[in-house]
Structure 1
């Protein structure tokens, strides 16, 4: 059915994304589908990592932990941006292309009035991706 699942992850807030991670991992396990955890960050030093290599290592460790926890194949894919807040959707769309993922399982929030003016990240990815996108609340 699907060949690769991409799960966007924010390593600073990974515990808030558990439901989407569980859903993606469940689908992956059922179909023996590899998962790639994609994270968008800046190349500049941050509280999470001092440089891109350190960030890649932390993302790889996260993917390895999730692989063991859920019994799946998982890797990490880091995308670097000058301004991740502004570039998030474009960076995730690029990650979809770079990884060859054909399903995205992504956390989203419960819609509210502001979504009429500023759609959610997940909504924007879903409306612009040429692959299936599963949004998890």
Structure 2
């Protein structure tokens, strides 16, 4: 049913990512699918912050470690943008097309008051993606 599963990864939020990655792993195992980890980081960084190259390397290592652990095909797809908060939703939708995903498994937080005014990134992805989106809490 699914062939390519995309998992958005915020490298700063490992526990939430772990939950969505576990679900994606179960589904990939069930359907014989591959997993693509996607991260989006700033293209311009402040002094002392993680560079785009360092973030890409960290994502590649995460993918390689998960591939060894799960026995699945897991690859990394890193993207940059000057303004991550403003562009994240658009970049995630572009990533769906770029990696040719047919399912996105994305972590999300429990909704708070602000989410009733403006949807979360996972909510926007689920609303606007042309493929199935599974939101994991």
TM-score, normalised with respect to structure 1: 0.92
Matched, 1:21 2:58: no
Aligned to 2:115: 115
The answer for unaligned runs of 5 or more in structure 2 is none
Q: Within 1, Cα distance between the matches of 2:44 and 2:14?
A: 20
Runs of 4+ in structure 1 over 6 Å off: none
Q: Within 1, Cα distance between the matches of 2:69 and 2:27?
A: 14
Aligned to 2:34: 34
Q: Within 2, Cα distance between the matches of 1:110 and 1:45?
A: 29
Matched, 1:3 2:3: yes
Q: Within 2, Cα distance between the matches of 1:24 and 1:105?
A: 6
Provide the secondary structure at the position in 2 that maps to 1:63: helix
Residues 2-39 of structure 1 show CA distances to partners (whole Å, capped at 9, x for unaligned) of: 11000000112123321111001111111110100000
Q: Within 2, Cα distance between the matches of 1:56 and 1:110?
A: 28
Matched, 1:134 2:118: no
Q: Within 1, Cα distance between the matches of 2:98 and 2:11?
A: 20
Quick check: 1:29–1:71 contact (8 Å CA) kept in 2? no
Residues 73-96 of structure 1 show CA distances to partners (whole Å, capped at 9, x for unaligned) of: 100001111111111111100000
Q: Within 1, Cα distance between the matches of 2:41 and 2:34?
A: 23
TM-score, normalised with respect to structure 2: 0.92
The answer for unaligned runs of 5 or more in structure 1 is none
Aligned to 1:54: 54
Q: Within 1, Cα distance between the matches of 2:68 and 2:4?
A: 18
